[in-house]
């Protein structure tokens, strides 16, 4: 062999230039290239910046390298074509390159049609999708965002996915998902969440580190059928990051945020409250006294708590000139002193009172807070092994000042890929996430709503006693104990894939085993809290005696699956793919709870040991265990002709342990297809059209939401009953709950019509979808005669429907050195209850949930009003027409008007609201209500834009709701519904009076019943909840690589960002539009200002 190697070079040297190229000469050239063809060069982007970590590889071989920190590379034995690739850029191929000083410029790949989209149990190119599936990159959602909820970060990002929240309080945001609205009255229509192939939940998603998420796919139509019985409301697929081929990288992302108040509850200050109090009391005194002159009316004012509190002043200089004694402040005198802003120290029996109207409870409760996020990531890959290691920590605190209120999150994740042989490869995912939420056990209670005439702390710095001895919320927050909540998730799976290409090209077998453990632990400790008067004398207390409870819950989930896949192309135009598989899943729950009271727990004791309690009436213990299982057979068939016509069939057969054995199995399926119109020859002349595709999807999914794990069993109840001629107690047993062997799955049938388009050299892209969904076997409760003697099971005798549309449009372009993009999405879904057996279908005034056929799931019915009475004559005429019967001997049957009467505040009077007789029967009854709107969010949208220029980047994102009605409830939906509370300042100056006859709201009164007549379930209390909010604003700067590379830094970027910085809303009573209908929520929605840094080595 050595002799042969020596002979070949000599033949090469002896070859004459004048000879024809012979086989020997070709052989010589090949050997020279193999021995000496080394290429060198630099890879840069369109801005001339070096591309670090780009892959430079001989096509079709293992011979390759990556660019260094300066974008430079050296590749030996570069024989043949060389490919240069980097994520986000178009791959370039050099044909037989030689020599050094090569300069390769990579251009960005803006053709989103080539993006790979994660679908059920697989991946497809976006261009090949036949269904309504939207994917968004994790970097687009979570980069530079300071929100503590991963779920909330998705608001407005994906058309058709509605994300709602009720707070910005870390760990208590109340986030909820809906895909294309409701589809049943059972449950909350939440989609199935899959995290790296393992079933998850919103809580688990919120525990995740957003920096770990590679992309999120949303299955919105019947393509979700591949996940069977739990996919009736759609599926959210979360895929985490993996190591990418190229040089190993270490990156750090850190941010520090300052939380400030956004929209606060519209509460009166003390001066405003006193003015509203006087106005209401004066109006009521006018009615009660029957007087008309102001002086007499004033003398009849009820001064309420000002009569019960107060006493002689302790100020020796404040002497009553009439008595020569210290001035006594009570009733009107106390009211007037407070209205004048005086600070008083008074003796009231054994209690020393301090009156100070300069206090602001909201300022004492809320301020600014700090949050921080840190994430370290190490990743890399070669042709055999890839890895991605991530470690994260987050701390977020609410604006609550007196005590810590916030959450901390820890996360660790290791994803790895290993290619054992050319045919066999493995991948593993291991993730650990822990979330700890800590809040005061004794939350704000009712005290925050009290109008604050008193100091928050006494002169010794202790919590001051309010009028009931225990309502000062500061004491409970400071010393009342702590609530700890821990959510721990351990998730892991291992997957192996064998390629049978030697047997049949395109045939692979994949097996997956997954395990998930979720543990939820909580502990409430309640300390007895003492309150004091101004000089430190103990008065009332709160939560006496102390108590404690603990709850431990644990879920374990096992999932095994095997999938046989085949994929091939025939004659370059027939693309065929098939999958056949099986999954088996089981989940087990165990829970244990315990509580005790009468413990030695006083404020500040710090004792949090359950054994320290003495025992008492409220001692308790509980717990339980349950499980469910699901077995499924899955298939998918795809055929694509020349990327112009495609059809896909999905099938799944599920067997659930929740149903009777004869109803346990059910088939679900989806059929879809597309026609790429732009692929037709007659469309080729339209050079401005890059892609135009029509889609259709039809299928059936199922649900067992709404029935318990063991409802397939009849239950017996036991107890004691008095029986016999000589009555005595006997142990008895009776049928508690019945079962049914006829109850099957809820079945949701859906249609989806879609259009995708890309225009103008891939700069403009968009999509439109129209969908119809019908639940034809919804679980409902049916009432039977009581003689049945037991609770009847739910049956499949309800129907529910939803329909709507989605639209998305995106533009991406470059002008000179400025790259920019704008995007918009808008979606709407309308739900409708179609059938409810034994339902009377009669609306009630207020919010009607899950009960009205032909209306949305949450329908608002209210009384229509027609302005305000301007004088007593109008009132009398109204009573004559709608209240009294023909001979004035009594009220008309069914009438709901307040009874007329003199010197009575709860009666109609000038300034009261007129209710319209809608049905025209001459009487105001409960039937005079009308449909005022859907309480569910409609017309959800998102608007985003961004640009980049010479390292500077700018991005902004708006989100909102275009249509929603809410009916305000709670303690502040109307003035003086609850007497002791502060009032909603938005009513101030807008209530009727003789001087303000065209007012928006009724006359002020402290009669709660009168106020309920004017506001409760009336059209005036329906709020238009549409809004738009600036969700995110980011300005960043990436330092030039010429600066950072000298320090060994690949990339260094600093940025400032803001979350929830601004909003516009049609809500007229001052509340944040995301609060919902309640008016008792005191926590202000927050805004966040963030400084962050991204660092890559």
Residues recorded for the chain: 1097
Distance (Å, whole) CA 183 – CA 186:
9
CATH of 38-109, one of 1.25.40.10, 2.60.40.10, 2.40.50.140, 2.60.40.1120: 2.60.40.1120
Cβ count within 10 A of residue 702: 24
Q: What is the pLDDT of residue 4?
A: 42
For residue 388, the model assigns a pLDDT of 95
User: Which secondary structure element, helix H or strand E, spans residue 479, and what is its range?
Assistant: helix 473-479
Q: Whole-angstrom Cα distance, residue 1005 to residue 968? A: 19
- Token pair 């009736």 is found at 232
Domain ranges of the chain: 1-14+22-32, 38-109, 113-244, 369-859+938-973+1016-1096
Phi first, then psi: give them for residue 617, nearest 5 degrees: -65, -25
Q: How confident is the model at residue 774 (pLDDT cuts 50, 70, 90)?
A: very high
Whether the per-residue pLDDT at 29 is higher than 60: the answer is no
Return the SS3 of 299: helix
1091 or 232, greater pLDDT: 1091
What sign results for the dihedral spanned by CA atoms 8, 13, 18, 21? positive
Q: Is the pLDDT of residue 1026 over 80?
A: yes
Q: Is the pLDDT of residue 808 over 70?
A: yes
Q: Name the CATH topology of 113-244.
A: Ferric Hydroxamate Uptake Protein; Chain A, domain 1 (2.170.130)
pLDDT digits (tens, 9 = 90+) for 544-554: 667 888 999 99
Cβ-count burial of 893 within 10 angstroms (0-12 exposed, 13-18 middle, 19+ buried)?
exposed
Burial (Cβ within 10 Å: 0-12, 13-18, ≥19) of residue 87: exposed
- Is the bond leading into 545 cis (omega within 30 degrees of zero)? yes
pLDDT over 70, % of the chain: 92
Which range has the worst mean pLDDT, 51-60, 298-307, 566-575?
51-60
In the β-sheet with 39-44, what is the strand arrangement from edge to edge? Answer: 72-75, 39-44, 102-105
Contact predicate 335/274, CB 8 Å: yes
Ranges of beta strands (E only) in 688-763 are 689-703, 715-723, 728-737, 746-759
Residue 530, pLDDT score: 84
Query: For residue 434, which of 474, 397, 392, 462 has the smallest C-alpha distance?
Result: 392
**pLDDT recorded at residue 603:** 53
pLDDT for 13 equals: 38
Q: How many CA atoms lie within 13 A of 832 on its CB side?
A: 11
pLDDT value of residue 757: 96
Residue 702 pairs with which residues in a beta bridge?
747
In the predicted structure, residue 25 carries a pLDDT above the cut 60? no
Q: What is the pLDDT of residues 246-268, one digit of tens each?
A: 788 999 999 999 999 888 888 88
Of 206, 144, 138, 139, the residue nearest 1089 (C-alpha): 144
Q: Which position has the token pair 């290239």?
A: 33
Strand order in the sheet with 846-849: 846-849, 858-863, 929-934
Q: Judge whether 699 and 225 are in contact, CB under 8 Å.
A: yes
pLDDT of amino acid 617: 56
Could you tell me which residue, 792 or 326, shows the higher pLDDT? 326
Model confidence at 31, pLDDT cuts 50, 70, 90, reads very low
Residue bearing tokens 């318990």: 708
How would residue 837 be classed by pLDDT, with cut points 50, 70 and 90? confident
Q: Which residues pair with 522 in a beta bridge?
A: 485, 551
For residue 379, pLDDT over 50 is answered with yes
Q: Could you tell me the fold of the domain covering 369-859+938-973+1016-1096?
A: Maltoporin; Chain A (2.40.170)
**HSE on the CB side for 110, CA within 13 Å?**
18
Write the DSSP symbol of residue 985: G
For the entire predicted model, the pTM comes to 0.85
pLDDT for 22 equals 41
Q: What's the CA gap between 957 and 944, in Å, rounded?
A: 4
pLDDT in the model for residue 16 = 38
User: What is the Cα–Cα distance from 269 to 275, expressed in whole angstroms?
Assistant: 10
Of the candidates 138, 143, 148, which has an alpha carbon nearest to the alpha carbon of residue 213? 138
Do domains 113-244 and 369-859+938-973+1016-1096 share one topology? The answer is no
Give the dihedral of Cα atoms 397, 400, 402, 406; nearest 10 deg: -30
The pLDDT assigned to 674 comes to: 96
What letter does residue 332 receive in the DSSP assignment?
H
What local confidence, expressed as pLDDT, does residue 611 receive?
A: 65
Tokens encoding 706: 């709404």
Q: For residue range 82-121, what is the model confidence (pLDDT) as tens digits?
A: 888 887 778 888 888 887 788 888 887 766 556 788 888 8
3-state secondary structure of 295: helix
Q: Tokens for 522?
A: 């909580």
Task: State how far the Cα of 288 lies from the Cα of 282, in Å rounded to an integer.
Answer: 10
Q: How many CB atoms lie within 10 A of CB 58?
A: 18
Residue 165 pLDDT more than 90? no
The token pair that represents 924 in the structure block: 């105001």
Whole-angstrom Cα distance, residue 62 to residue 60? 7
Tell me: pLDDT of 709 over 80: no
Residues 1031-1042 pLDDT 10s: 999 999 999 988
Q: Cα–Cα distance between 130 and 673 in angstroms, integer?
A: 5
As a whole number, mean pLDDT of residues 132-155 equals 87
Nearest-angstrom CA–CA distance, 184 and 778: 7
Residue 163 scores a pLDDT above 50: yes
* Cα dist from 808 to 119, 824, 937, 1030, whole Å: 20, 6, 18, 19
404: left (phi over 0), alpha (psi -120 to 50) or beta: beta
Cα separation, 1019 vs 865, whole angstroms: 7
Dist CA 455 CA 559 (whole Å): 59
Query: Is the CB of residue 301 less than 8 Å from the CB of residue 332?
Result: yes
CA dist., res. 469 & res. 348, Å (int): 14
Please give the mean pLDDT across all residues of the chain.
Answer: 87
DSSP 128: G
Please check the confidence at residue 930 and state whether its pLDDT lies above 60: yes
The span from the CA of 225 to the CA of 228, in Å, is 5
What pLDDT is attached to residue 145?
Answer: 82
- Is 1096's pLDDT higher than 70? yes
**Cα(752)–Cα(408) distance, rounded to whole angstroms?**
42
Q: Mean pLDDT over residues 269-277, rounded?
A: 92
What CA–CA distance (Å, rounded) separates 1059 from 336?
A: 44
pLDDT at 545: 62
Q: What is the pLDDT of residue 987?
A: 94
Asked if 753 and 221 count as a contact pair (C-beta separation under 8 A), the reply is no
DSSP state of 114: G
Spatial strand order in the sheet of 198-200: 133-137, 213-219, 235-240, 192-195, 198-200
Q: What is the bridge-based pairing of β-strands 689-703 and 665-676?
A: antiparallel
pLDDT-derived band at 32, boundaries 50, 70, 90: very low
Beta pairing partners, 324: none
DSSP E strand stretches across 500-644: 507-526, 529-532, 538-542, 546-570, 574-599, 620-641
User: What average pLDDT score do residues 989-999 get?
Assistant: 95
Tokens in use for 742?
């006829």
Predicted pLDDT of residue 21: 40
Q: Distance (Å, rounded) from C-alpha 898 to C-alpha 914?
A: 12
929-934/482-499 β-pairing:
unpaired
CA neighbor of 456 nearest in space, from 313, 344, 350, 360 = 360
Residues 607-622 have a mean pLDDT of 65
Identify the CA nearest to 1014 among candidates 904, 862, 859. 862
Cα–Cα dist 723/717, whole Å: 17
DSSP 8-state secondary structure symbol assigned to residue 366: B
| DSSP element (H, E) containing 406 | strand 406-419
pLDDT digits over 432-448, tens only? Answer: 999 999 999 877 766 66
Residues contacting 400, CB < 8 A, separation 6+? 365, 366, 369, 440, 477, 1083
- Check pLDDT > 80 for residue 168: yes
Q: What is the pLDDT of residue 795?
A: 83
Distance (Å) of CA 988 to CA 277, 279, 343, 966, 1045: 11, 10, 25, 22, 62
Closest to 518 measured CA to CA, from 414, 608, 432, 634: 432
The pLDDT value given to residue 99: 76
Checking if the pLDDT of 12 tops 50, the result is no
Nearest to 381 by CA among 495, 249, 494: 249
Which is nearest to 373 in space by CA: 137, 136, 143, 139? 143
Residue 981, token pair as written in the block: 């509370």
pLDDT band (50, 70, 90) for residue 878? very high
The residue among 7, 122, 1036 whose CA lies nearest residue 578 is 122
Structure tokens at 400: 């609550």
């Amino acid at each position: 062999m050595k002799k042969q190697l020596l002979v070949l070079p000599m033949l090469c040297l002896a070859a004459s230039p004048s000879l024809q190229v012979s086989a020997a000469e070709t052989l010589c050239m090949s050997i020279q290239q193999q021995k000496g063809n080394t290429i060198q060069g630099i890879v840069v982007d369109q801005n001339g910046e070096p591309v670090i970590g780009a892959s430079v590889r001989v096509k079709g071989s293992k011979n390759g390298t990556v660019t260094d920190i300066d974008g430079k590379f050296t590749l030996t034995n570069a024989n043949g074509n060389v490919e240069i690739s980097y994520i986000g850029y178009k791959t370039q191929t050099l044909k037989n390159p030689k020599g050094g000083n090569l300069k390769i410029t990579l251009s960005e790949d803006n053709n989103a049609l080539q993006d790979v989209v994660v679908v059920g149990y697989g991946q497809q190119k976006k261009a090949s999708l036949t269904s309504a599936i939207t994917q968004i990159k994790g970097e687009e959602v979570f980069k530079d965002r300071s929100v503590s909820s991963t779920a909330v970060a998705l608001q407005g990002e994906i058309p058709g996915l509605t994300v709602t929240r009720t707070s910005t309080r870390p760990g208590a945001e109340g986030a909820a998902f809906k895909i294309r609205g409701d589809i049943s009255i059972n449950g909350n229509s939440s989609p199935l969440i899959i995290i790296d192939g393992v079933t998850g939940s919103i809580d688990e998603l919120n525990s995740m580190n957003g920096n770990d998420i590679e992309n999120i796919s949303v299955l919105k139509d019947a393509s979700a059928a591949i996940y069977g019985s739990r996919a009736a409301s759609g599926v959210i697929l979360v895929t985490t990051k993996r190591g990418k081929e190229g040089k190993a990288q270490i990156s750090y992302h850190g941010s520090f945020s300052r939380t400030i108040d956004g929209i606060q509850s519209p509460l009166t200050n003390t001066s405003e409250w006193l003015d509203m109090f006087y106005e209401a009391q004066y109006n009521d005194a006018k009615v009660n006294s029957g007087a008309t002159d102001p002086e007499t009316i004033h003398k009849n004012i009820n001064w309420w708590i000002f009569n019960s509190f107060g006493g002689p002043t302790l100020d020796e200089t404040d002497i009553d000139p009439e008595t020569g004694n210290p001035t006594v402040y009570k009733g009107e005198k106390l009211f007037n002193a407070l209205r004048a802003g005086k600070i008083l120290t008074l003796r009231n029996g054994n209690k020393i009172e301090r009156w100070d109207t300069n206090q602001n409870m909201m300022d004492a409760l809320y301020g600014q807070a700090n949050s921080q996020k840190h994430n370290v990531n190490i990743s890399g890959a070669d042709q055999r092994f890839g890895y991605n290691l991530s470690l994260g920590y987050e701390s977020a605190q609410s604006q609550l000042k007196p005590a810590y209120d916030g959450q901390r999150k820890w996360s660790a994740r290791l994803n790895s890929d290993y290619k054992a042989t050319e045919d066999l490869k493995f991948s593993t995912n291991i993730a650990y996430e822990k979330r700890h939420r800590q809040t005061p056990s004794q939350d704000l209670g009712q005290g925050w709503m009290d109008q604050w005439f008193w100091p928050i702390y006494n002169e010794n710095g202790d919590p001051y006693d309010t009028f009931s001895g225990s309502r000062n919320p500061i004491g409970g927050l400071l010393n009342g104990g702590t609530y700890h909540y821990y959510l721990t998730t351990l998730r892991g799976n291992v997957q192996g894939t064998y390629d049978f290409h030697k047997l049949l090209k395109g045939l692979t077998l994949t097996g997956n085993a997954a395990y998930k453990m979720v543990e939820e632990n909580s502990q409430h400790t309640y300390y007895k809290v003492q309150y004091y008067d101004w000089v430190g004398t103990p008065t009332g207390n709160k939560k006496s005696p102390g108590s404690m409870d603990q709850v431990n819950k644990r879920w374990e989930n096992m999932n095994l699956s095997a999938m046989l896949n085949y994929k091939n192309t025939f004659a370059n135009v027939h693309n065929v793919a098939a999958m056949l598989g099986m999954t088996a899943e089981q989940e087990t729950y165990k829970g244990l709870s315990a509580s005790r009271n009468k413990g030695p727990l006083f404020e500040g004791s710090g004792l949090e040991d359950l054994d320290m309690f003495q025992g008492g009436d409220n001692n308790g213990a509980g717990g339980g265990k349950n499980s469910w299982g699901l077995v499924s057979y899955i298939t998918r068939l795809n055929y694509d002709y020349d990327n112009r016509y495609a059809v896909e069939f999905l099938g799944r057969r599920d067997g659930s342990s929740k149903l009777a054995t004869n109803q346990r199995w059910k088939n679900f399926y989806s059929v879809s297809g597309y026609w790429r119109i732009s692929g037709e020859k007659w469309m080729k002349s339209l050079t401005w059209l890059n892609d135009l595709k029509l889609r259709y999807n039809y299928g059936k999914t199922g649900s067992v939401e709404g029935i318990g794990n063991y409802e397939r069993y009849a239950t017996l109840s036991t107890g004691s009953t008095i029986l016999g001629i000589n009555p005595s107690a006997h142990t008895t047993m009776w049928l508690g709950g019945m079962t049914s062997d006829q109850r099957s799955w809820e079945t949701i049938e859906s249609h989806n019509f879609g259009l995708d388009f890309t225009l103008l050299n891939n700069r403009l892209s968009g999509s439109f979808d129209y969908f119809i969904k019908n639940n034809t076997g919804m679980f409902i409760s049916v009432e039977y005669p009581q003689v049945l003697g037991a609770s009847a099971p739910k049956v499949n005798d309800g129907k529910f429907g939803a329909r709507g549309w989605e639209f998305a449009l995106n533009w991406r372009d470059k002008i000179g050195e400025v790259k920019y993009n704008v995007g918009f999405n808008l979606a709407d879904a309308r739900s409708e209850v179609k059938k409810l057996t034994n339902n009377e279908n009669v609306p009630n005034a207020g919010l009607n949930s899950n009960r009205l056929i032909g209306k949305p799931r949450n329908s608002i019915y209210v009384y229509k009003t027609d302005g305000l009475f301007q004088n007593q004559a109008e009132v009398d005429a109204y009573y004559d027409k709608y209240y009294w019967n023909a001979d004035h001997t009594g009220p008309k049957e069914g009438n709901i008007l307040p009874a007329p009467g003199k010197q009575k505040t709860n009666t109609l009077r000038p300034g009261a609201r007129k209710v319209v007789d809608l049905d025209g029967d001459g009487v105001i009854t409960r039937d005079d209500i009308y449909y005022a709107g859907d309480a569910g969010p409609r017309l959800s949208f998102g608007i985003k834009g961004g640009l980049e220029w010479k390292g500077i980047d700018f991005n902004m994102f708006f989100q909102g709701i275009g249509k929603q009605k809410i009916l305000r409830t709670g303690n502040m939906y109307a003035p003086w519904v609850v007497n002791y509370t502060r009032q909603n300042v938005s009513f101030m100056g807008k209530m009727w009076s003789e001087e303000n006859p065209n007012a928006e709201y009724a006359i002020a009164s402290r009669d709660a019943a009168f106020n309920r007549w004017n506001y409760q379930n009336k059209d005036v209390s329906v709020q238009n909840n549409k809004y738009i909010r600036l969700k995110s604003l980011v300005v960043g700067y990436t330092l030039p690589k010429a600066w950072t590379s000298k320090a060994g830094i690949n990339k260094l970027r600093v940025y400032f960002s803001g979350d929830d910085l601004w909003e516009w809303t049609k809500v007229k009573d001052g509340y944040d539009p995301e609060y919902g209908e309640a008016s008792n929520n005191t926590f202000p929605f927050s805004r966040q200002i963030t400084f962050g840094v991204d660092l890559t080595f």
